[in-house]
Every structure is written in structure tokens, then in C-alpha cells.
Structure 1
Amino acid sequence: MTDKHEYVEEVAIPSASSHSGSATNFSDPIVENLRHEMEHETKEQAALDIEMAKARKTEPPSRRWIVLATATLGALFVSLQGSALIVALPDLMQNLNIDFATIIWVLLTYTLAITAIVPLLGFVGDAGLKGIRCRMFNIGFLVFTLGSLLCGISQKKYNGYDLLAYRVVQGLGGALLFSNCFAVVADKFYPYNQVGLASGIINIAFAAGTILGPVIGGATVKASWKWVFFFNLPFGAIGTVAGFWFCHDTVYPHVQYASFSKIVKSFDYTGCITLTTSIALLFVVVVSALFPNGKVSETGSLIGMGVAFGVLFITFIIQEAFVRGGKRFNASKTPFMDFRLFSNWIFNNTVVLGGLAGGVARTNLTFSFIFFFQGPYSKDPLMAGILLIPFGLGIMIAGMPAGKLADTLGFRYLCFAGLALASLATLIMPLVIKPDTNTWVISALLLVNGLGWGLYSSPSASISMLCILPQQRSSSSSIRIMFTMLSQMIAIVICFKVIISGMPPAAVQELFIYGGGIDHQYLDSFMHGWKIVCWITFAITLICCICAWALPVTPVMAHEEPESEVSSVMEVEANNKASA
């Protein structure tokens, strides 16, 4: 078998140089990653790299579309469940005897569970275990469906605390689905140069779930609050069966896969515990500060948890950068989070900046307009969700064609044009929108903004999978999801602290839970804060737009015929064997 050095020299470099100079800009990170790993990894890991890089078409073509449909269904319902609950909050508070502080945790615990768990699942997905990515994805569908069932049978006598636990189960299922969703699809579609198309479809589903959640939640809650959760069950059952039946990782016959016992022995427990705990502490501090909840929200408690977060996070950085990573990197004792990923500019541009900063911008828009529609516009939560549909519709309309175009035209111009369009629409919003602005004007601006983010999201998701090695895709996917979920928390802080900071807690609760208008005495303060959030969102979007110009122009796939690359690699192997 060709070793990794030969693969770099015979395949990676020629494929990069056979096109225009801009193609080389993309391929360099891959080549550098391969060269770096040649110095550290075992022969078994090198063999796995080569087998996965070839991406041989060993499955029926129809199988990948079934996998994509299953992944799309998972993305739709995991994102839908995060937003559908907003409309059902009043019914949950009444029927389960839940107070305001607890209902906020019911809403956010789901996000916390996903954010805290995805880094671990990303590590496991890239650990080299046989068939692990699709297996975790399939189990995720099952756990998410079970969690939905448990949420729907919550009892009033527990005052919502049982629902909190069940939302953690739901979040675990969502994390298992999301952490490997893009990686599973990229593995299947890479040989066909259709990763952009597949990523675009998943992004459409994610956007649809986020925007349609309040609408579906409002429709189902009219029957009973239970149906906000039971609505997931038939689709979850279909996804679970389809996943276990059709979604399986490609098994390479000549690769020696990692063993679970070896991973357990060499696992970076310090990195895992410090990161997971620090994420949980960060959520508790932020939510407790925004929504006071007894002794947990006292100044002393918040300071103590803040200090603990700082110590744990610094420990995590030291552990990953110096103890397990850096010059001490050892393939047999890999760090919990491989910081070498962050040395790749394309990864930082699309995953770190696009996931975190871009996520803050998109969530800022969503939350600020929910507050606007429920406050100055005097709508209830259901109608506020309906009025937000143009934003999600724009992402859906632009998402799939943008992903498909990225596979043939490249990335720079699509991403830049999308973010420029979103920046322009965001810039106009605080200048023209007032409490009495016509609904059609607002809808048009939201639609244009959504079109811009749709043009950006699909190509950026695609290139974030392709700018790294195949065995790093779960880590990339999980880091992207982690940053996206963290961005939601940051956006909540921005919106609550800037838009409604001048309102008393009772008025905030009334606005957030029930909507229906805002007292005239708070209107000027509200609109001033709302415009500031729009300016913050514009600044973030503009920064992302400028950075998008550094993305590659030409398609990520350096070769036009994927099969030819595989053939060339096999010819090199055959020649080497013959000469030997």
C-alpha cells in the first residue's frame, strides 16, 4: 500500500497544481495536515488516512440519497424542537405548574445539553472506531425520539423538574444526531463532488426547523401541550428505522481500526471534563444572571461559578495546547480537541467565524424581531413566529442552489455576495423600521437577509467539511455545532441586556412569554435598544463578509472526475508493487 508520503507527493500536490493558483490555496492546508501527521501518527492511522482520502465508491448510488434524507429529517426536527417550545411556554407553565425561572431552564436545557456534549461526540466520531459515525447518528435518532416521548408524559406534581431531565435526554439525542450529521453526509457525497449540494439541503432543513418551529408549536398546542413533543414521534420512528437500515459507514477492508479499550486507556479525561464543565458553568452563570433564580443568582454564587469557569477553561487550554498538543502531540494519546484544526485559515473562517460570529448575527435577528413583533407590533408568540417566516424562507430558497453552485463555481464569490446582501439588508433595518412600519416592508427586508445568509451558509458548511482530512470531519462538525449553540446564548445576552434592560422583570416576563404589546412608557427605550442590536448585527455580518473574500475561488474538489483520482492512486500502488 502507498504510504502517506507517496500520497502527498503523487496525489495531493499534483491535483492542486493542475488548476489555477487559487486552487492551491485550498489544497495547501490538506497537504500540510498530511505532512504534519506523517511525523506523528502510527502506520495504522496512516493507512486509514489513505483509505478515507481515496473515498472509493463502494456503495449503491441510491444509498447516499437515503442517508441524506435521513440526515435532513434529523436536522429538521432537532432544530424545530428548539424553537417550537417558545409558543407552548404559557400552556406548559399552567398545565405543569412551572414558574418563570424553571420554564426558562426548560427552554434552554436542551441547548445546553447539545452544546456540552457535542465536543465529546465529535472526538469519538474521529477516533477511528469501525462504523462509529453512522452508529452514533442512528442511536441519536432513537434517543431523541425517546426523549420526546418522555417530555410528553411529564407530570404536574413534579413542577417541571421531570421535564427538565427529559429535555436533557432530548438534547443528548440531538447532540448525537448533530455532531455527526455533516460528517456522515460528507463521507457519502465526497466521491461524487456533491458535498455542497448535500450541505445545502441540510442547511435548508435546519433553517426550516428554526423558523417553522413556532408555527408548528402554535398549531399543536391547540390540541394539547403534549403534542408539541408527540409531534416528533412518527417522524422520529421513521428516521430511526431508516438510519439503522440504510445509514452505515463505509468499511475499508485493508484498514486496522482502533479498539475501544485502547481509546479508553489513552483518552484525554482532563480535556473532556474541563471543557464540558466549563461550558455548563458558563450557561448557568449567564442564564442565572439574566433570569434570577434564588440563591444561584446571588452575586457571590455568580462570582464563584465565574471563577470556576475561568480556572477550568484555562486548564483546558493548557492541557490541549501544551500537555497533549503542540510539540508533545502523540497519535496514540491524542488531545480531546485537536488545536491543529485552528491553524487552518479556511476552517477558522467558516467554522469559528461563520459558526460563532455568524450564528450570533442570525440569532440576533431572530430574537430581536420576536421581541419587536411581540412588543411594538402587539402580536402573540404564534403570530410573531409566522411573521419571521420570510427570513427562514430566504435561507431555504438560496440554500440549495448555493450549495450546488459551490460544487461547480467555488466559494469566495457566493459567500461574499451572500454576506454583502445580508449586511445591506441589516443596515437598512434600523433606518427604516419603526413601530408602525408596514408589514410588507419588514417581510421584504427579512427575506433579503435570509437570501443572503442562505447564499453563505451552504457553501461555508460544505468547505468546512472539505478543507480538512476525512478523519477530522466529526470534530469539525461538532465544533461548528458547539459554536452555533454558544452563539444562541450570546445573542440572548445581547438582546435581553440591550433591548429590554430598561423594563421591570414582570414586564419582561409578560413580553417574552405572552407578547401582545408593550407599555408605551417603555417603547422609546425598547426601540433604542432594538436599533443598537441591529447595528451590532450589521457590524458582525460585515466582518464575516470581509473575511469571506479570503475563501477559495475555485471548487474545493481539486479534480473534476473523482473516479480518476482513485484510479491514479491505484495505478501508483500497482506500479510500486510491480517494481518491488
Structure 2
Amino acid sequence: MPSTEPTDQRKTRGWRFWMAILSLNLIGFVATLEGTVLGTALPRITQEIRTSGSMDYVWMADTFALAQTVVQPPLSQICNIFGRRTPMMASVALFALGSGIAGGANNSTMFIAGRTIQGIGSGGILLMVELIVCDLVPLRERGKYLGIVLSSSAVGAVVGPVIAGALVEADWRWIFYLNLPICALVILMMRFSVRLRHQNNATWKASLARVDWIGSSLFIASLCSLLVGLIFGGSDEKFAWSSWRVILPIVLGIVGWIAFHIYEVSGSCKEPSVPSILFSNRTSIVGFFLVFDASILMQWVAFFLPIYFQGVRKVSPLKSGINFLPFQVFLIPAASITGAILSKTGKYKPLHLTGFILCTLGLGLLTLLNDDTPTVQWVVFEAIEAMGQALLIPTILPAIQASLSESEVASSVGLYSFLRSFGWFWGITIPSIIFNNRWGQLEGRISNLDVRASLSGGQAYHSTGTHPSWSSTTLAEVVSVYTDTLRTLWYAAIAIAGIGFLAVFCEKSLALRETLETEYGLEQEKQVNTEEHGVNVKN
């Protein structure tokens, strides 16, 4: 029987609760940090280990994100069957194992294997960080605590490239080895302090019989195919978007994804990993779209604003990272404050509307950027965009869950987490296509044919540094093309933000539940309940 946490118990939460929050902050920080370090470190890594082909660089860069994305909905069902703590510790252990393999790699195959295992662990971690928060506090308070733990993850994203830059000068392997003691500490905290409970099945056979093996296999295979197509198409290697090597996996992935959803609603699937009830009302449907839309915008800005600093302002990659810090500095505290506001008011729709208004305004202001924009202006532009995102990050998941029962917490978090990661892929793919097409239209402005050739074919957002042999005329021409190409990107992003704004009007303003009814949670919070009702629960 689910346990219920009355409102007055919020003031008496014990050390186990805060130990759980601390462990979630710590592992969320590490998992997110690991997703951002490789861009800085990969050039050095490829110089020091053996590679077997031209596509190795692509797989070394992208296999982590691919593995992280595809495992999340299937893992959410595993959490319903086996509880939260064991899958969480298994995910942390996989993350540590992958870190050790990648850190000790002496060839690209071993490194890719390590990063894949790491990605699977990271996908489970990012899913369960939010899921455990949902198990610990009532829906009304989730925004506040989600703001706290997701802010820690954002810190990891900020400092990841900086840490990687420092460690790569000494020994890049420590980028991965440093995860091992942190993972060990988190596992110890989860094992001995964070006593999460669940109703246990009678036998392992009964537990395994509940797993949606066919559906999960279809989902993982189809999404892998789709994402491989996106990776190939966006790799700037030998595969154009019109190549069958790009089109075929994308088509197979879409067909497989459709087949997955058909199977999930069929009578053959007894316990779906993505149940159709998640799409049974317009508020949850809109919420899932909003997290996808917001994730596209987040990655869009995070990937291409540094290109503005390098391509237009002609600063170093390190300086461009520093120039992007205002975005993160405003994002992190604003997300925490937003979560607290949601918990206080219980109103998410005004926050969503304001968030997309600020995102749209921020993107509109980015169209004004050029090579002599004053520092104070681009800092303010970043701040506005960051605050728009901060109003969305901790508030979309509670809105989704307001329209669903507590029994769908795991499946809703799994789909939410997947769509967020899936949006990150599109947040690079869509603007990359726009950037390359617009660059191709404008590159005729560059009179130096050698420079034009060196920046064509998708190389413009990899070769943003100033070459010493360029004349002042050539430099001005290149900066002009960068400025106008990026301006087109921001216009396209405004359209995507505007779609999100309009979608918010389809949400219903639902009350956020103020009591916690769950079969999961901390042992001390369930002890009285289980003794009174004789529920057979197991850690």
C-alpha cells in the first residue's frame, strides 16, 4: 500500500532525506560533467591512442550521448519492478566501470566501449536522480528539489570543459579516473544511508517476466538506428545528408519507433515500458513536447553562442568558454529560485509562458550581435536567455505529473528524461543544417578562394580561429559571413521558441498534489505505515 507523507512532515525530514539529496547532487554533477569534458580533451586523446578508421573520432565523441539517450524509458520500467536503489547503484557502478575502461584505453575500440558503458550508466543516473526526488517529496515540492539537484548538474556542465582543459595538460586519463572514488562514495552513501524501499516480487522469475523485453528491444534498436543517422549526417565526414548511409538508418529508426508504439498499445504487451496513459491528456502531451522544445533551444544556444565568440569576436576557445559563463551563472540560481516559486504558488503555467517569452526575447536580442557588440550587451542577452530556460527546467516535469497518477511517476520520468536527451541531439542537428546551408549561400563574399575552400563543407564551425596569413580584408569578409549566418540561426530558433510559447496555452492549470503517495521512498518514512498494514517490503 502506498505511504502518505502529510504536509507537516516536511519540517521534520531526517538525515536520511538530506543524505539522499546530497548523493543525488553529487552523482548528478559527475554524470553531467562527464558529458561535457570530451570536446576539450578528444583532440589530445586521439593523438595518444591508436585509431582504426576515420569514423573513430565520430564514435568516440558521440557514443556516450547515444547510449545515454536510448536506455532511459526501458530503465524506468526496471525501476518500477526492482525499486530505485538497486538500479541506481548498478547505474553508478556501470558509470564507474566505463570510466575505468575509457581511462585505461590504449586504442579507439577500447575507448568507445568504455564511453558506451559510461553512457548507459549516465542515462540511468540522470533518470533516477529525478525519479528519486519524485519519490521523496510531494508533487507540490518537486520543483524546489528538482531545481536544487538540476542546478548541481548545471554546475557540472559549466566546469566540465575547464576541468578537462586543466587535466588534459597533465594526463587526460585522470578525466575518467577521478570518477572512480566519487562513484564509490555515492554507492556507499546509497547502500548504508539511503534506505529506499519497494514492494518486492515473490521470485526473480516473476520480476523478469514483468520486463517489456520486446518493446524495450524495439525501442533501443530503432532509436540507435535513428541517432546513428543523425550522427552520420552531422559528422562532417564523408556522408552527406542525401547519402543512403544517412537516410536508411533514419528511416529504419522512424519505422521501428512507430512499430514500438504499436506494440506498446497491443494486447501482446502486458506491462508497457511507455504506457499509453502517458498520452491520455493534453497537459502531459504538451509537457513532453515542451521539454523536447526547451532542450533543443538549450543545446542550440550552448553550441552556437561560443561559435559567435570564436568566429565573429575571434577569441580563443578558452576565452569563448569564459564568455559563455554568464549564461550558466544566471541559469543555476534562477532555476533554484523558480523551483521554490513553483512549490510556494503551485502555478506552473505562468512560469512556462514567461519562460518561453524570455527565451524568445533572448534569441531575438542575439540577432543583434556583431563584431563590436559591447560586453555588457551580450552578457545581458545571455542572462535573459538563461532566465527563460531557468523558468522551464524545474517546472515542466511537475506539470506533466500533475495530470497523471503517482503510479506513473517512473514511466513519466523515463519518457521526460529521454525526450530531454533526444532534444539535445536535435539542438545540434537542426542548427547545423541551417548553418551549413546559409554559409553556402553567403560564402561567395569571401574573395580569397583558399580561405573560402577551407571554411566550406561544414568546416566553418570547426575552423573559427583567425589564421595569421589572412589579410584584414579577408578577415572582415569572414566575420561578415559568420555574423549573417549566425543571425539566420537565431531567427530559426525564435520560431522554435515561439512554437513552445503557443503550446503552453494548450496546458491545463492543474493543482499540484501536496501529499506523497508512493510505494517507494525512504525506509524511515514508510516504517510506521508498513508496520500498520503488514506490507511485505524489501530494500
TM-score normalized by structure 2? 0.83
* SS at 2:422 equivalent: helix
Q: Per-residue CA shift, 1:335-388, capped at 9, x if unaligned?
A: 2310210113332233x1222111001111111112222322223333222221
**2:482 alignment partner in structure 1:** 526
- State yes or no: 1:70 paired with 2:70: no
- State yes or no: 1:516 paired with 2:442: no
**2:271 alignment partner in structure 1:** 334
- State yes or no: 1:304 paired with 2:260: no
Mapped partners of 1:303, 1:455: distance in 2: 37
Change (3 A) 1:514 1:231: farther
Q: Which has the higher helix share?
A: 1
* SS at 1:500 equivalent: helix
CA offset at residue 169 of structure 1? 1.0
Mapped partners of 1:107, 1:559: distance in 2: 43
Partner of residue 93 from structure 2, selected from 134, 139, 142: 142
Mapped partners of 1:389, 1:443: distance in 2: 9
Partner of residue 146 from structure 2, selected from 196, 199, 207: 199
* SS at 1:184 equivalent: helix
Mapped partners of 1:105, 1:265: distance in 2: 34
Q: Per-residue CA shift, 1:551-576, capped at 9, x if unaligned?
A: 565751357999xxx9xxx9xx99xx
Partner of residue 231 from structure 1, selected from 159, 166, 178: 178
**1:274 alignment partner in structure 2:** 218
Mapped partners of 2:120, 2:6: distance in 1: 30
Contact 1:215 1:386 in 2 (8 A): no
**Equivalent residue runs for 1:458-473 within 5 Å:** 458-473=394-409
CA offset at residue 164 of structure 1? 0.7
Mapped partners of 1:300, 1:543: distance in 2: 31
- State yes or no: 1:540 paired with 2:493: no
* SS at 2:394 equivalent: helix
**2:446 alignment partner in structure 1:** none
Contact 1:371 1:511 in 2 (8 A): no
Change (3 A) 1:322 1:498: same
Change (3 A) 1:238 1:465: farther
* SS at 1:556 equivalent: coil
- What root-mean-square deviation, in Å, do the aligned CA atoms of Structure 1 and Structure 2 show? 3.2
CA offset at residue 550 of structure 1? 5.1
- State yes or no: 1:396 paired with 2:347: no
Mapped partners of 1:269, 1:469: distance in 2: 24
Mapped partners of 2:281, 2:203: distance in 1: 29
Q: Per-residue CA shift, 1:57-91, capped at 9, x if unaligned?
A: 79962211111111111221211111121111221
**2:264 alignment partner in structure 1:** 320
Identity between Structure 1 and Structure 2 (%): 20
- State yes or no: 1:455 paired with 2:406: no
Mapped partners of 1:553, 1:295: distance in 2: 46
Mapped partners of 2:339, 2:154: distance in 1: 14
Change (3 A) 1:300 1:557: closer
Contact 2:232 2:239 in 1 (8 A): no
CA offset at residue 277 of structure 1? 0.6
Mapped partners of 2:208, 2:396: distance in 1: 34
- State yes or no: 1:152 paired with 2:88: no
Q: Per-residue CA shift, 1:186-214, capped at 9, x if unaligned?
A: 111229x5322111112212222223222
CA offset at residue 510 of structure 1? 6.4
Counterpart amino acid of residue 153 in structure 2? F
* SS at 1:123 equivalent: helix
**1:124 alignment partner in structure 2:** 78
CA offset at residue 460 of structure 1? 2.0
- State yes or no: 1:87 paired with 2:37: no
CA offset at residue 222 of structure 1? 2.1
Counterpart amino acid of residue 31 in structure 2? V
Counterpart amino acid of residue 61 in structure 2? L
- State yes or no: 1:182 paired with 2:130: yes
Partner of residue 55 from structure 2, selected from 91, 101, 104: 101
**2:449 alignment partner in structure 1:** none
Counterpart amino acid of residue 395 in structure 2? P
Change (3 A) 1:479 1:170: same
CA offset at residue 483 of structure 1? 0.9
| Mean CA deviation greater in 455-464 or 353-362 | 455-464
Contact 1:275 1:316 in 2 (8 A): yes
Mapped partners of 1:349, 1:210: distance in 2: 27
Give structure 1 stretches of 5+ with no counterpart.
1-47, 326-332, 575-580
Mapped partners of 2:277, 2:3: distance in 1: 19
Counterpart amino acid of residue 112 in structure 1? L
CA offset at residue 522 of structure 1? 4.6
**2:84 alignment partner in structure 1:** 133
Q: Per-residue CA shift, 1:531-557, capped at 9, x if unaligned?
A: 222122222223323333555657513
Contact 2:226 2:252 in 1 (8 A): no
Mapped partners of 1:416, 1:68: distance in 2: 29
Counterpart amino acid of residue 153 in structure 1? G
Contact 2:4 2:516 in 1 (8 A): no
Change (3 A) 1:450 1:315: same
**1:353 alignment partner in structure 2:** 289
Counterpart amino acid of residue 513 in structure 2? M
Mapped partners of 1:536, 1:348: distance in 2: 24
CA offset at residue 152 of structure 1? 1.4
CA offset at residue 511 of structure 1? 5.6
* SS at 1:445 equivalent: helix
- State yes or no: 1:439 paired with 2:390: no
CA offset at residue 403 of structure 1? 0.6
Counterpart amino acid of residue 118 in structure 1? Q
Contact 1:214 1:381 in 2 (8 A): no
| Mean CA deviation greater in 305-314 or 160-169 | 305-314
TM-score normalized by structure 1? 0.78
**1:24 alignment partner in structure 2:** none
Mapped partners of 1:467, 1:175: distance in 2: 25
Counterpart amino acid of residue 240 in structure 1? I
**1:169 alignment partner in structure 2:** 117
Q: How many residues align?
A: 498
Mapped partners of 1:212, 1:464: distance in 2: 31
CA offset at residue 257 of structure 1? 4.0
Contact 1:415 1:455 in 2 (8 A): yes
Mapped partners of 1:361, 1:300: distance in 2: 29
Counterpart amino acid of residue 243 in structure 2? T
**2:190 alignment partner in structure 1:** 243
